[in-house]
Amino acid sequence: MGDQFGDQWAPLIYTTGDHEGFFKHYKEATRENVLRFLAFDKENPNSILTCVSNARENARTARETISSDMWEELNRFYLLVREAVNSGATGDYEFFAQVKRASNLLIGTTDTTMSHGEAWNFVRMGRLLERADKTTRIVDVKYYILLPDVSDVGTTLDVVQWSALLRSNSALEMYRRQHGRIQPNKVIDFLLLDRCFPRSFRYCIGGAEESLHAITGTPEGTFGNRAEQQLGRLRAELDFTSIEDIIQTGLHEFIDDVQGRLNSTGDAIHKTFCASDADKQRQTQEQLQ
């Protein structure tokens, strides 16, 4: 896998899962190309500019549902990104720090000023499913990149690299408080199976399932649609999975499986709540056939 990633900038593209789109428009994964693609490229549906612009447009159509504080924070976020585009602040560390702060501020404003009803649960469910996907991608890509030579195991370099993996998920401080010394298996366990850390895969799946049941009113432990069935089954399996089981099966294989199941869950949520009556009827007929 090392040859696949090449230099230090290519892994960022693979981490986000946008490598196919990137290499359609750029020949090389240089610092300038990667940062432009991830931050400001309008052709990239997952760039910072595209995501914030789409969020603002979606919020505009739901002004009567969201709070005024949310709308104002989102507008500030949008203007921050637009100003960076106009000033050419590509690769500016301070800009990316501001993006993180703006994102956290928007999430906090949403949680403290919006009624925790159906709309809020849809927002929370979507955010947690997206976070679950990104956490697994970061772990998957960085795990293989950070696999050191045998001579590096246990050295200062090894600790620095695993610390970087935790820092990529804003998890270094919480990991150290809970586990102390950096140990690879404990790092993976913390990011995938910890039930309390808000960016762990298990926490995100559990929270998304809670919001889904809050939306439908279906009692927990049961399911009334395909989305609830898939998400509940995944959460239950995580509850009875250990890091030893994952390592024995293969970390990449485990992550590849759960990412596929996340995609299926997303499709099921769309079909349950967004598909038209005609689409639902056609899907039912296809299932019967």
Tens of pLDDT, residues 129-171? 999 999 999 898 877 665 555 444 445 556 787 888 899 899 9
| pLDDT for residue 289 | 47
Flag whether pLDDT at 268 surpasses 90: yes
The angle formed by the CA atoms of residues 10, 11 and 13, to the nearest 5 degrees, is: 70
One-letter identity of residue 85? V
CA dist 275 and 158 (Å) reads 48
The mean pLDDT of 34-54, rounded to a whole number, is 93
Kindly indicate the confidence band of residue 287, based on its pLDDT and cuts at 50, 70 and 90. very low
Distance of CA 116 to the CA centre of its chain: 22
Which residues in the chain belong to E strands, given as ranges?
none
* Number of CB atoms found within 10 A of residue 64's CB: 5
Task: Give residue for tokens 């993180």.
Answer: 100
Per-residue pLDDT band for 5 (boundaries 50, 70, 90) equals very low
pTM attached to this predicted model: 0.86
* pLDDT(6) > 70: no
How high is the pLDDT of residue 1? 42
Inter-residue contact 201 to 246 (CB < 8 Å): no
Q: Look at residue 84 and tell me whether its pLDDT is greater than 50.
A: yes
Q: How confident is the model at residue 277 (pLDDT cuts 50, 70, 90)?
A: low
Q: What is the pLDDT of residue 288?
A: 45
pLDDT of residue 153: 47
Q: Measure the CA–CA gap between 69 and 110, rounded to whole angstroms.
A: 8
pLDDT of residue 286: 52
Instruction: Please provide the average confidence, as pLDDT, over all residues in the chain.
Output: 88
Tell me what pLDDT residue 203 has: 98
The pLDDT score that the predictor gives to residue 278 is: 52
Comparing 56 with 91, the larger pLDDT belongs to: 56
- Cα-based torsion angle of the residue sequence 106, 107, 109, 114 in order, rounded to the nearest 10 degrees: 120
Q: Shortest CA distance to 241 belongs to which of 201, 199, 284?
A: 201
pLDDT at 90 over 80: no
User: Which pairs from 234-240 meet CB under 8 Å and 24+ separation?
Assistant: 234/205, 234/258, 234/261, 234/265, 235/202, 235/205, 235/206, 235/209, 238/193, 238/201, 238/202, 238/205, 239/202
Residues 232-249 have a mean pLDDT of 94
What is the domain partition of the chain in residue ranges? 115-274
Range with the lowest mean pLDDT among 14-18, 239-243, 247-251, 258-262?
14-18
171: Cβ contacts below 8 Å, ≥ 6 apart: 190, 191, 197, 199, 200
Q: Which residue has the higher pLDDT, 148 or 180?
A: 180
